[in-house]
Chain A
Amino acid sequence: MQTQNMIRYALLVVFVFLLTVLQTTILRAVEIFGVIPNLLFSAVVCYSLTKGDWKALVFGIVCGMILDFFGGRAVGMNTLLCMYTALVCILLHGGLFNNNAFVAMIFVFLLSIAYEFFIYFFSLLIWGQTDILYALLFKILPGSVYTALVTLFIYPFARALANQWVPRRHSRR
């Protein structure tokens, strides 16, 4: 059982590693309207919605730190936001009527809008980049839609990796 858990953690690490590499390299080649999806954020939401415990919080913190590290800005903003996102998903986990890719897409879309807005507010708006309409129409909304769309591909993997720790509980439903 211990070995199985180790393998599952290793798979999770590989999953996050692949998403990070994709997001920082070849994803730039598939920009739509100048934006790319946030794969790690999508993974945080999908994983946390399925997992629903403190491990999801750790997952959120780790993904946020990765985003901070590759973002080249002060470490902390993405870490905090991803942690809070994971926390919201954990709280919603118990009340979810159904957990499927479509539900995850909606959550990713809504939480991504909030996440991107906070990034804009703290990193740009208060530093003089006051074109809120531009930020909303050309960054926040398209980015959130794109992130929600890629959730269709991320959700099965995130759910599989999250479910593996609690197979019995899931099978009772």
Chain B
Amino acid sequence: MDISQLVFYTFAGLAVASSVLMITRRNPVYSVMYLVLTLFSVAAIFVLLEAHFLAALQVVVYAGAILVLFLFVIMLLNLGHEFDPDIRGKFWWVVGFGLGLVLFAELFVLARSVPEAPESDLLARLLADQGAVGMVAEPLFENYVIAVEVTGVLLLVAMVGSVVIAKRKV
């Protein structure tokens, strides 16, 4: 077992463990912290899968912006202490983890049916040619430029919409 596999299993275990801790902590602030840990571990797995730019994006956008937004709302609504216990009873534990197991079994069978990884690694050549950012940016701004523009409009709509929804009625 070489070093990259060791690192992979470490971060995979960390991601799974902290995601389970995330859904079982009673305090929502702890849940956010464990979610940050999960997202960082997934970013590390992205690095091992040669998606360096996406790993940086994951840390900046997810762990940096979205999770801060969650934490900000929790602090704003003062849910960090005096929270009601919100985890459902025994029945829902069985249902939740049972359904989760069934879903995992399905996805596992699906992943097994994916054909074996081919010998030629497409991205390694691209990465050597264009660098980590260039290999994502060039197709993004050539083939998918309309999608990028539409996504910009989506962000604008989301921004205006959230301002209108959260605004106090005057």
A binds B: no
Q: Which residues of B contact A (CB under 8 A)?
A: none
Q: Which residues of A contact B (CB under 8 A)?
A: none
